[in-house]
């Protein structure tokens, strides 16, 4: 094995250690399939997954089945820069962070697919939210089936 391969394996092992023994500090889950398995409106191909950020000590790692693992980063903000985890559409199911308040998350979330025919509802730090197309903003969802 070359020195570069040894270094790469050591870096990968370090990232895996942070993921396996660190604390989950950011989580974005999505599912773009309807109950019948067809793609949800406006989301493209059907599928499901999550992007996560783990912290161990002062190091952060971005982890994703789709995008792989990246890091370590010196801050949550740096790890959040890997992809846009604040983008929300009808496939978004949950966003949770132990290091960001609900208010901070609400301020950073943005909707790029704005068609009132498609419902955007998800959990944000454990509380149900929906995008109000008339008011053009994210609001706490107080409807009877909120969070489903």
- What percent of the chain clears pLDDT 90, i.e. is strictly above it? 50
* Angstrom distances, CA of residue 35 to CA of 77, 102, 122: 35, 29, 16
pLDDT > 70? residue 147: no
Question: 47 — alpha (psi -120 to 50), left (phi > 0) or beta?
Answer: left
Per-residue b or e along 9-40, where b marks 16 or more CB atoms closer than 10 Å to that residue's CB: eeeeeebeebbeebeebbbbbbbbeeeeeeeb
pTM exceeds cut of 0.85: no
Q: What is the DSSP letter of 95?
A: E
What is the reported pLDDT for 79?
96
> Which residue would you say has higher pLDDT here, 112 or 52?
52
């Amino acid at each position: 094995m070359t020195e570069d391969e040894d270094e790469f394996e050591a870096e990968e092992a370090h990232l895996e250690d942070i993921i396996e023994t660190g604390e989950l500090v950011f989580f974005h889950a999505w599912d773009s399939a309807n109950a019948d398995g067809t793609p949800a409106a406006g989301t493209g191909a059907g599928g499901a997954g999550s992007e996560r950020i783990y912290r161990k000590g002062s190091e952060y790692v971005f982890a994703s089945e789709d995008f792989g693992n990246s890091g370590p980063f010196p801050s949550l903000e740096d790890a959040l820069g890997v992809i846009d985890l604040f983008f929300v559409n009808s496939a978004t199911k949950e966003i949770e962070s132990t290091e960001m308040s609900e208010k901070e998350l609400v301020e950073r979330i943005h909707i790029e697919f704005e068609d009132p025919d498609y419902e955007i509802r998800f959990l944000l730090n454990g509380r149900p939210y929906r995008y109000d197309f008339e008011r053009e903003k994210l609001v706490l969802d107080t409807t009877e089936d909120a969070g489903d």
